[in-house]
Structure 1
Amino acid sequence: MGRTRKGRAISGFLIVDKPAGITSTSVVNKVRWTMQAQKAGHAGTLDPAATGLLAVALGEATKVLPYVTDALKAYEFTIRWGQETATDDAEGEVVRASDLRPTDAGIEAALPAFRGDILQVPPAFSAVKVDGERAYDLARDGEVLELSARPLHVRKLDLLSRPDPDHAVLEMVCGKGGYVRSIARDLGRALGCLGHVTRLRRTWSGPFALSGAITWAEIESAGQGEALDARLLPLETALVGLPECRCPEASVALLRNGAAAPVFPAEGVEWGDEAWASRDGRAVAVGHYEGGTLRPTRVFAA
């Protein structure tokens, strides 16, 4: 007999404007406790010092987290020139310094090398696993790490403003696995002046935007119960990038039991495409379209 989960069987996304000084895991745990949800997760970790959009999934919405995690995300961040730190942000000690400061033209000229499909070495203090251990744990123990470069797609990287010679504000839109701290570090090295991130804010992630996001103060004042239920976005929001195939009533039970079943194909969907099946606007399953049927890989409770 399976273990019965404690809590409410609620599903959807709560979009949180994470403040600085709190871990992403702490936000998820607080939301889960506040809403008394059976299960919860998040799409894409933000460093404790970072702020901005954190999509918290509850219940059945945790099954579609990969579609948000894999989606493009946007960040606005400030680089402090002239200093490189052990953590590539303002939390770490300064390990190298330079009196050089880049011109606006110099920054603009360096940015194209960081756009498109690039290779990026993660920061030593990151959640990347090395021989089964987190890099930040090894780095805290004093180990010198040689992390491998990883592919990253950078859709956009633009200079927004120059508050003073020591700082620059940039915007980046990138794919899964991008480290803004690495961009600041590598851009500083390319310009010969060194650099690290002093402020980082995620402004959107996949289909989710900061407009309408709930604040930490609102979560803290809500108490346990249903006070935040009206702020939940449906799990279907995360599936906007997939074709939607509507299914007849007779197919609902089959799909939810993991069996292939007939669906009405979405326009343009082809054999083998990943798609989702809906009934009355509610997601029934995600799977692969096979000529009039959907073979489910993820199913959702009623």
Structure 2
Amino acid sequence: MGRKRKGRDISGWLVVDKPAGITSTAVVNKVRWALAASKAGHAGTLDPEATGVLAVALGEATKTVPYITDALKAYRFVVRLGQATNTDDAEGEIIAESDARPDDAAIKEALMPFVGDIMQVPPKFSAVKIDGQRAYKLARDGEDVEIAARPLWVEELTLVDRPDADHVELEMVCGKGGYVRSIARDLGAALGCYGHVSWLRRTWSGPFDVAQGISLDEVDRLAKDPALDAHLLPLEIGLDDLPELRATAEGAARLRNGNPGMVMAANDVEYGDECWASHEGRAVAVGVYKAGELHPSRVFVG
């Protein structure tokens, strides 16, 4: 028999407005401690110096993390032109410089090839695994890291502001696995002037917006206080991108036991679609719809 996790069986989402200077894992650990939760995780890592939306899943909400990870995300960031760094951000060492400074028209034109289906090489200092080891560990050890390009969907990439000749503020909406640092590096290369990220903020991720975010200082202040529970969002929000089906009482009971359960048909759902079933307003299971039943792949407890 597995060891029971310590802590409360609390489920839901807490949207944290992550500050700079802390890892995503450290934020999750802080939230888990503050809520005395038995289980926690996050839906999409932010670099330590990045700020903004970090959606922390608690309890049964952790089962919905894949659906947020796959959702579109938006970033506001500043590219420092004229300098390349070994980490592709301001934390690294400058490895190349240029006096060239393209005008706004050249930048807008250079952004166009980065929209749509693109191939992107992650930064050498990233968590990508190479032969079982993290790329950043190999890079820190001085090894020449070669990372294969991978596909990325970029919905939008626009010039927002040009505060001075050295800096460009951009906004990007992209799919799973996008590296803003790679965009800055590759944009600088395309412009012939080098570039790296000097500031980065995630403004929304799937259904979660930075306006919903609670600061880490506030998490600290409300730690172990029932008032912090009031900031939790229901786990069902993590299923926003999937169609919802209503389960019958008998169907819900069967689904909770991991068996196919009867659901009420919906006009926008077809045979084989991935959906989630609810009963009395609560999520019961995620699965595949087949001939009036949901065949569960994930079941929610409680």
TM-score interval for Structure 1 and Structure 2 normalised by the shorter chain: over 0.9
User: In 2, distance between residues paired with 1:111 and 1:5?
Assistant: 48
For residues 87-130 of structure 1, the C-alpha deviation after alignment (integer angstroms, 9 at most, x for no partner) is 00000000000000010000011111000000000000000000
TM-score (norm 2): 0.99
Between stretches 263-272 and 54-63, larger displacement belongs to: 263-272
Between stretches 208-217 and 191-200, larger displacement belongs to: 208-217
* Pairing of 1:136-285 with structure 2 (within 5 A): 136-285=136-285
User: In 2, distance between residues paired with 1:165 and 1:260?
Assistant: 61
Matched, 1:45 2:61: no
User: In 2, distance between residues paired with 1:265 and 1:155?
Assistant: 32
For residues 195-239 of structure 1, the C-alpha deviation after alignment (integer angstroms, 9 at most, x for no partner) is 000000000000110112100110111122423101000010011
- The answer as to whether partners of 1:36 and 1:225 remain within 8 angstroms in 2 is no
User: In 2, distance between residues paired with 1:212 and 1:272?
Assistant: 34
Matched, 1:97 2:97: yes
State the 1:257 CA deviation.
1.1
**Structure 2 portions without partners, runs of 5+:** none
User: In 2, distance between residues paired with 1:21 and 1:261?
Assistant: 47
Q: Specify the alignment match of 1:32 in structure 2.
A: 32
Q: Specify the alignment match of 1:54 in structure 2.
A: 54
For residues 58-83 of structure 1, the C-alpha deviation after alignment (integer angstroms, 9 at most, x for no partner) is 00000000000000000000000000
Q: Specify the alignment match of 1:16 in structure 2.
A: 16
For these two proteins, the number of residue pairs brought into alignment is 302
State the 1:157 CA deviation.
0.0
> 1:211 aligns to what SS in structure 2?
helix
User: In 2, distance between residues paired with 1:24 and 1:226?
Assistant: 24
User: In 2, distance between residues paired with 1:266 and 1:67?
Assistant: 21
| Residue identity matched to 2:237 | T
State the 1:10 CA deviation.
0.4
Matched, 1:294 2:263: no
Q: Specify the alignment match of 2:126 in structure 1.
A: 126
**Structure 1 portions without partners, runs of 5+:** none
Moved over 3 A (4+): none
State the 1:163 CA deviation.
0.2
TM-score (norm 1): 0.99
User: In 2, distance between residues paired with 1:186 and 1:288?
Assistant: 40
